[in-house]
Each structure stands twice: as C-alpha cells, then as structure tokens.
Structure 1
C-alpha cells in the first residue's frame, strides 16, 4: 500500500491515559507471493493494521519449505511454518496439520496476542483457532473459501464433486464454529455460508480497497495503453489468476463475436495460460487477445486506466477485490450473475450481469457498454461512487472495533 494511515491507540480500561497497541496474530494459509484474493486481502489487512499503530504478526506457510526465523515485511512480523508443495497447484505451498499444530502453539506463546484472526479453516488457520481457544485468546475468523475454488483442479464426476463440496462446507462450518466472531466479505457470501451449514452469526466486512491508489484516469486512455504496448482500441480488461475456475475462455470466445472491434487484455499468471493462448489462436482472435503475464502491483492502477470496461466470468467469487479496484478506477463492469458479483454490479447502471457460461451474452453486454462513449463514462462514474463504500480505512476500523470488543483488556488478565 502506498499511503501512511493515521495511527490509532487503545486506552487500557480504568487508566484513561495510557495508550496501548493491539497485538494481532493473523493466521494465513495463503499470503504473497501467492497470487489470489485471500492472500492479497490478508497482506493489505496486516500492513494496514500495522500502519494504524498495531503490532501485527502473520503466520504463514514457508515459501521455501523449511521453517525459518521471523522476518519483517512492510512493518509486519512474518512467521514461516514448514511447508510442502501443493501438487495440484505448483505455485503454492501448504503446511501439514502436524507441522501447523507443532508451530502454532509455540508462536502464539511467544507473541502473546490480544486476538487471533484466522483467514481460513485449513491447517494453519485451523491450528491457530485450536491453539487460541485453549489459551483463552479471542478468535476472529474470516471465510474466503468456496469448494469450487479447489474442485476445478480435480477431475471428478459431478455426483462425487457434490459430496466433496458438502463435506468441505461442513468442515469449514465446524472449524469456524469455534471462533468468537466470524466475518465474510459480503452479505451474499454470508448467505452462501449459512446455506451450506454455518449456523452462527456472520458479519459482512468488505475486504476494502485503497481509493487513493485506484482512481479514474487523468489522461486519455491511449497514453496508458501505450505504456503496456497495447493498440489504441476499445479495451476489455481481466485481472487475476489464469485458472479454470475463472472461466477466462468465455471472455475469449466473447471477444471474438462482439460487434465492437474491441481487444481483451488478460493480466495474470496461472496454469491455464498455454490453453488460453491456444484457444485464442484456434478461434482466430490472437491479435485481439493480449496476455500481459504478471503485472507488478505498482503498475496495476495504470493498467485499469488503460481499459474501458472490466470483465469477470468467475462463478466462485465471495467479493472480488480486482472488480472493486476496477470500479474505483472508474470502469464499468460486465460480470457473471453468480455468488457475490451481483453485489458489485447495479445492472444497467454501472455495468451488466450476464448468464454464466454464455459467451454470446457476454459479447452482448460488452457491446452495450462500449456502444456509447457517454454511456461508458456515466457507468464508470457510477462504479466509482459504489466503490467509495469499500474504502479500506473503513474496513480496518471495523476489524479494530471487533478486536476491541472481544479483547477489551488488550493483553490484560483474561
């Protein structure tokens, strides 16, 4: 994040004068350099809390395998738990349940946190919750999980997939049921979790975005396109992983049948890159589909400014940070009518929803946005206004208020 946020302090009960920093342990089974929404959110949460005056520790799988000494990253102390590669996702690693259990208790004892914030029900998050509960440390848990995000990597019959999905939801509900406070990014995500077995209270807290970094362009689009080596034509943008669950193939098929001579710009990396490149060639649209690969975080604001519309076809999004970033950048959105994406699209006002899996419908919606420059700009203004409700400072304040309610003594006798 690029700005310094104002520091906040908390007064010890009864003192009236002595400020005390919160000590927060964030348990994360995924964290940068992993590329996914949960990792990105957790990083921004940790750094944002630290810049607000909190002492923040992140516990994550080691990026290299062996456990090693804690490091300081952007003002956050990061603890690295022994890990192994994930065979179905070679760019990521995980800590085994045994390694996580052995590490978490010792780390929490050394940190002495006021609150533990688990970001998943996988080994590190699960072990953190168990260790915190046994030590009477308050626990906040945030759910970023949907089984679809995992099952796309496993080829199984639909009937088997349904059984695995149901069991995965039950497992998540059981683990998060031990937490003192559970959050999800959106009200729709909360409804999904409740429909799939979680019976406790769920608080919707937006992941939030930095509205000072992501803002509408101040120069003509062609100037930003030139910076990325892109032709100056109507531009549809997708940012994110190149995985099957994101259904980028539908966007490629759609760009081939739009009435508008638009181009699709795909920013990100992932195992489907070769297959998507081949699909574009097979459809004869290679010249209209540009794969940028990994785009550094500092370049993302200008990439959004190079586009005219943001498109996302994923059907397992609990919020979609990249969609919020696009909205904050003044872009209309064309999105799948699935899970939480309708929460971000006021259909006909800041963009359009399309029928999931229907590339012709995607093309129709893209044409509707791009048909009139005035309508495109008006939709972009509406997107920006909607994004203002997701200022990350608001999200940080919300989480701090939750921590304070659960741990009012801030490290005192519990």
Structure 2
C-alpha cells in the first residue's frame, strides 16, 4: 500500500507521539509498504530525505513559543498538495490535528483521498495551567475538545490508543466511525533480562541501591515533581533515575536541590537504546506520576522488561497498571501515597517478582506485530470502501448527465447521500 503519515511531532522531537509515529512509519516500510511522512523541519528551509526506507518531507517552520521542541510549519498548502498528487497515497493518516493535519485533511477532500486520524492529545497537553485552573479549566477543556472533535468528525475514520481515550472523544460528541488501536511495542526487542552492573557504572548510578526508573518528557504535566516529593518520604534509600529532557528540567533540578536529595536523584538526559534496555532490566520498578498520558509507551516498555509499575490513577494509565496485580495506582498528585507503594514494593522481592510477571502478561496484548496487522486491515478496508464510493458517485453523475433520469433504487441512494453529506 501507499501510506502517508502526517504529524506535527516527529523525531528529533522527544516524546511519545514522535516515537509512535516514527515506529509506525518504519515498521510499515519494513513490511514492504511505500511510506511518506510529512513533518515540520528544524530550520527555515524545506527538506526531504530517506530515513530507514521512509520518505520524510519536512516543511519550514518556527518553534512554538509555549512548548519547547514543537515546531509550527509555515502553511505549506501547495507543496503538500503537490506531494499528495505525486505520491497518490491509498490512505492519509493524520496524527496531529494542528497545522499539517488540517492542511492534509482540507486537501484530501478535493483530491479524493481517505483520511484516518489518531488522537494522542488531552487539553492538559496544550496547557496544564489552563486545564487545571479552578475557573478557566472547564471552559478551556470544553473548547479544546470542541476543536478536536470537530476535526475528527470530518475524517473518514478515527482511532485512539486506548478505550479511555476514545470514550473521552465520544463524551464530547465524536460521531465518525472509530475504534481504539494500541500504539504497540516491539516485544522481540523489549524483553526481560539479567541486571547489568556495567550500565549502572556507565551512567554513574549506584550499584548498591534499588533503582526507581522514570522515562518521560520533563514537562509540567508529567508531574515529575510528585515523584521528587516522594523521595524524602521513602524509608528505603532507593535512587531515582530520570531519563529524558524537557522544558521543566531546570525547575526540577532546583527542586532536587531544595529538597536536599541530590545524592538520591540522577538526571540522565537522553539515554541511547543500547543503554536504556539494560537500565530497565537493572531497575527495581518503574514509576509514572503523569496526568497527561492517553497511553504510555515508556510504561509498556518497562512492563515488557518485567517491571512492576506505580502510576497515577488517571486517564488511561489504569488500562496498563492494574492495582495490586502488576503494580499500584495512587491518587494523582499524592506523593505520600506514592512513597508508601514504592516502599512496599522495595521491601518485598517476591511481590516485585509476582507483579513483574503480571506486567508481562498484560503487555502481551500490545505486541507491535498484532497492532500493525490491525492497521493494515483498517487501511485496506477504508481504501476499498472509499474507492467504491467514489465509483458510485461517478456512475450517478454519468446517469444524471446522459439520461436525466435515475431508477428508484439509485434515487434512494442519492437522497440518502445528500442527507448524510449535504452534497452529491
């Protein structure tokens, strides 16, 4: 198939959406499909290159002033239109309902191309301060969802990575055909393994303390502050390893210094895959206090390495973390409760082993191979249905043009279409 993926977030930007879109593009290319990715550039010029069999087209952009790393393209209508016409994709898959996603959707209608959209966003991703404000929070959330749902209702099909994420769209008026499809992970790559003291030495982590691992963008809505506030409350002298970077890093470093826990927290920044996998295997548990995840790929990767998880009980995280089965759920923002669960796990090796095995069982349903098969089946079905509908419209126009009369059954089809779409 010929697949076009459109996203405003793509590597080298750090985060779950860039990781998910790149993984999907490269996996499809490795399965023999032709794949194009449309994304912002990291400079004033357009660029294109072949990246791991994927044709990546980047359009000149500027940095979003309130979200570090997010780039906004300069409305490249004609270049995108020309690329769609030239590549002639069977399906256009939009992952960001912002600039490039809107452009692709607008142009796809005129060029008769089916559009699938996947929702990765919550209002809190756009602004935590507004989303959680006592007075402005509800109006801001409603406006954000009104925009998202309006965009998705103009697509042929909508997906979300979890049932929770999909239900949030239904709650705010989604009418387009939809289903949830996990982002998935490569269970051949992420597997359990022995503890690796060498990687701990290489990353300057203590070998004589249990490692509490956290992998997520260091931004306000990810609530790393809750984890840091839990550290002084721990009875166990564990060490926290924070992997990734983000706009809140300086503030979090200042918080570590203020709490006097410099010797118990490490900011590791970007960690290459060759070290991150053994680091997961060398950790005692994984934590995710985030209030802004519709599905956490980092959590799934930790689970695949047989780690128990302590997570905030909010949005889609309970779909991965089953309380007292493969980990614990704590009230969002409650660092004392989080600390108590960390201590409980660190003090009971048998419990960690049992919960780690449960993590393996739960994450097995998210194998990337199965996920890709779901996408391929959906792409093919929509492409066929869209083509058949296009042919029916052409037949109706021809019959009207040359005969001036439609049989009763075709008149009924035409009236039905007009009621549903408002046009012939």
TM-score by length of 1: 0.90
Partner residue, 2:411: none
- TM superposition shift of 1:86: 0.9
Partner residue, 1:73: 51
Question: Which one has the bigger helix percentage?
Answer: 2
Q: Which SS does the other structure have where 1:314 is aligned?
A: coil
Partner residue, 1:28: 7
CA distance in 1, matches of 2:130, 2:67: 11
- TM superposition shift of 1:405: 0.1
CA distance in 2, matches of 1:153, 1:80: 31
Q: Deviations over 1:307-352 (max 9, x none)?
A: 1100001112101000000000110000000000000011111100
CA distance in 1, matches of 2:130, 2:274: 34
Partner residue, 1:151: 127
CA distance in 1, matches of 2:139, 2:386: 43
Please give the root-mean-square deviation of Cα atoms over the aligned residues, in Å: 1.9
- TM superposition shift of 1:210: 0.8
Matched, 1:231 2:210: no
Q: Which SS does the other structure have where 2:70 is aligned?
A: strand
Structure 1: runs of 5 or more not aligned: 1-21
Partner residue, 1:328: 304
- C-alpha contact 1:116 1:139 (8 A) present in aligned 2: yes
Q: Deviations over 1:380-400 (max 9, x none)?
A: 111112111101111111110
- C-alpha contact 1:61 1:80 (8 A) present in aligned 2: yes
Q: Deviations over 1:225-257 (max 9, x none)?
A: 233221021111100111000010110111111
Q: Deviations over 1:37-96 (max 9, x none)?
A: 11110000000000001000000111213223x210010001112211111123221114
CA distance in 1, matches of 2:216, 2:383: 36
Partner residue, 2:72: 94
Matched, 1:271 2:242: no
CA distance in 1, matches of 2:271, 2:140: 35
Aligned length: 389
- C-alpha contact 1:404 1:410 (8 A) present in aligned 2: no
- C-alpha contact 2:64 2:71 (8 A) present in aligned 1: yes
- C-alpha contact 1:100 1:123 (8 A) present in aligned 2: no
CA distance in 1, matches of 2:43, 2:19: 19
Structure 2: runs of 5 or more not aligned: 392-424
Larger Rg: 2
More divergent stretch after superposition (133-142 vs 341-350): 133-142
- TM superposition shift of 1:353: 0.2
TM-score by length of 2: 0.88
1:105 pairs, out of 81, 85, 88, with 81
More divergent stretch after superposition (236-245 vs 148-157): 148-157
